Amino acid sequence: MKLLAEEKLLWSPTVVNSRMNRERNASGINSYEKEFKFKPEEFLATKISESGKASWLDLCCGVGNALIQTANYFDKRGQQNLVKLKGIDLINTFSPIEKHLTCLDFKTRSLTDWESGVAYDMITCVHGLHYLGDKLKVIEAIIKALNPDGLFIANLDISNIVIQGTNSRDFLKKYFKQNGLIYKARLRIIKRIGPANLNFPVRYLGADDECGPNYTGQDSVTSYYSI
């Protein structure tokens, strides 16, 4: 099997697939709420009531509907000045941000070699990790960028991570547990509260973009590592 380097992976038909669902809302039908069982806007509203402000970074945000819906929610409450919302995606298919929404911005870039200079109260990646090459490096960067009590939550199918020379599933579950990452295998959700400097004891080898569909039914990318 030929493993792809990051630069090549970004051009893979699996990654730029136009049939992906990029349009999830924050809550309601076809939403982040459906994935994670909480409303992002309510999480942020609680943060505001506790600490006076709140921030949310949505990685692989697609067209950014969840962020736009949330920006409108806080606009209606007259609280745009208390929230910072940011979305990052490889492809610029972002919905237009109406002029009155000042608390939101989008950035077009790959998460390859991404590091955040800023900390957030919530970092989400909804059905985005499935398409990344070095998934573990991105998870490390995310965890570093959490505020104290900040929440990271994402969909992850650990069958999309192969660690050669060991039982990948057992290795990952043990490492996640030791480092405060909660992995819900049935729901394929990974989460953690609070920042940390993780250092997965593995070396990234490359990605297979021809591994076929994962549990979502969509073609996905399997990331290969060695120990």
Ligand X SMILES: C[S@@+](CC[C@H](N)C(=O)[O-])C[C@H]1O[C@@H](n2cnc3c(N)ncnc32)[C@H](O)[C@@H]1O
Give the residues lining the site for ligand X (CB under 6 A): 15, 20-24, 60-62, 89-91, 110-112, 126-128, 131-132
Which C-beta is closer to ligand X: that of 66 or that of 82?
Answer: 66
State the minimum distance, in angstroms, from the CB of residue 111 to ligand X: 4
135 or 171: whose CB is closer to ligand X?
135
Alpha-carbon distance of 54 to 183, in angstroms, equals 25
**Cα 189 to Cα 76: distance, rounded to the nearest angstrom:** 31
Host H or E run for residue 76 = helix 65-76
Closest to ligand X by CB, 25 vs 166, is 25
**Residue closer to ligand X (CB basis): 132 or 153:** 132
Q: Smallest gap, in angstroms, from Cβ of residue 184 to ligand X?
A: 18
Minimum distance from residue 65 beta carbon to ligand X (Å): 7
Least Å distance between CB 174 and ligand X? 27
Residue nearest to ligand X (CB): 62
Smallest distance, Å, CB 39 to ligand X? 15
Our CB check for ligand X shows the closer of 40 and 150 to be 40
Q: Is 89 exposed, middle or buried (0-12, 13-18, 19+ CB in 10 A)?
A: buried
* Helices and strands, counts by H and E, the chain: 6, 10
Taking the CA atoms of the chain, what radius of gyration do you get in angstroms? 17
Is there a contact between 10 and 131 (Cβ–Cβ < 8 Å)? no
d(CA 40, CA 46): 10
